[in-house]
């Protein structure tokens, strides 16, 4: 916790909050004084996050929702504003990836599911978050991309396409609302030690070593490190930053 809690009196909204970067981000907001709405499809994981947030001592709104469902997202935003009073910063973090495989062998159902969650889900989030923020005079949105937003990632075509699209969507929204008090940015994590990375690496020592070897810094990042970047982008310290895709990737994309 900082000497002065920078989010005191603020309300934050975080999707994918049941684990990993989402959970770390929700906790980071609370430690800085915010009330937090946490959203995920994983009810059990949300309960763990909720318990940790309540121990910090600020208000929590827990919402089980699938971000690929526009009506569910609309309801989540409305519940946040109704119960916590407003919406100052939103983090569209929920995401999934497709099983490793070459493009023409990716089944259409998987393609649609990944795009619906990673790209359409971010659009749905911003659509209703922006409506709430316009009504109150401003706010900040941070979308979670990936190093796959910047480079081609062999074997995961749907994930890579969705994360590239997320950056374009972020930039358009930043321009659309630049004069209306709403900033929209993206954070692009590198290899981060999360449950998703465990699945991606196969959960084996060899798989983890392979993924770690991609990082010039010689280690995986932590969810807490990404959460700190999100805190910055959502804060007044980043008041002149909008439309930016900030790579927090240990040097992954500068090789």
Query: pLDDT, tens digit, for every residue of 35-54?
Result: 999 999 999 999 999 999 99
Residues in the chain, total: 255
Question: Which among 68, 164, 150 is positioned nearest to 110, based on CA atoms?
Answer: 68
Average pLDDT, rounded, for the chain: 95
CB atoms within 10 A of CB 146: 29
Report yes or no on 202 lying in a domain. no
Helix (H) or strand (E) holding 64: strand 60-64
pLDDT at 3: 52
Q: What separation, in Å, do the N-terminal and C-terminal C-alpha atoms of the chain show?
A: 34
Owning domain of residue 107: 11-190+223-250
Report yes or no on 155 lying in a domain. yes
Question: Residue 139 belongs to a domain with what CATH number?
Answer: 3.40.50.720
Number of domains forming the structure of the chain: 1
pTM above 0.85, yes or no: yes
pLDDT at 49: 98
3-class secondary structure, 118: helix
pLDDT higher than 80, residue 201: no
Query: Per the structure block, which two tokens stand in for 69?
Result: 């469902």
């Amino acid at each position: 916790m900082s000497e002065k809690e920078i989010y005191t009196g603020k309300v934050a909204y975080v999707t994918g909050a049941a684990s990993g970067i989402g959970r770390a981000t929700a906790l980071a907001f609370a430690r800085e004084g915010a009330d937090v709405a946490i959203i995920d499809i994983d009810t059990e994981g949300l309960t763990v996050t909720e318990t940790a947030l309540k121990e910090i001592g600020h208000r929590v709104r827990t919402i089980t929702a699938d971000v690929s469902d526009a009506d569910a997202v609309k309801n989540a935003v409305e519940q946040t504003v109704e119960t916590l009073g407003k919406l100052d910063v939103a983090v569209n973090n929920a995401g999934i990836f497709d099983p490793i495989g070459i493009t023409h062998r990716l089944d259409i159902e998987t393609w649609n599911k990944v795009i619906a969650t990673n790209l359409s889900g971010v659009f749905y989030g911003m659509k209703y978050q922006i409506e709430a923020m316009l009504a109150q005079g401003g706010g900040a949105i941070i979308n979670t991309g990936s190093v796959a937003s910047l480079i081609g990632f062999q074997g995961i075509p749907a994930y890579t396409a969705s994360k590239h699209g997320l950056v374009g969507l972020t930039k358009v929204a930043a321009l659309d609302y630049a004069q209306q008090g709403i900033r929209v940015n993206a954070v692009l994590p590198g290899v981060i030690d999360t449950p998703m990375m465990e699945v991606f690496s196969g959960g084996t020592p060899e798989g983890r070593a392979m993924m770690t070897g991609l990082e010039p810094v010689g280690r995986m990042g932590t969810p807490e490190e990404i959460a700190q970047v999100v805190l910055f982008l959502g804060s007044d310290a980043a008041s002149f930053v909008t439309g930016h895709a900030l790579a927090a990737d240990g040097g992954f994309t500068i090789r």
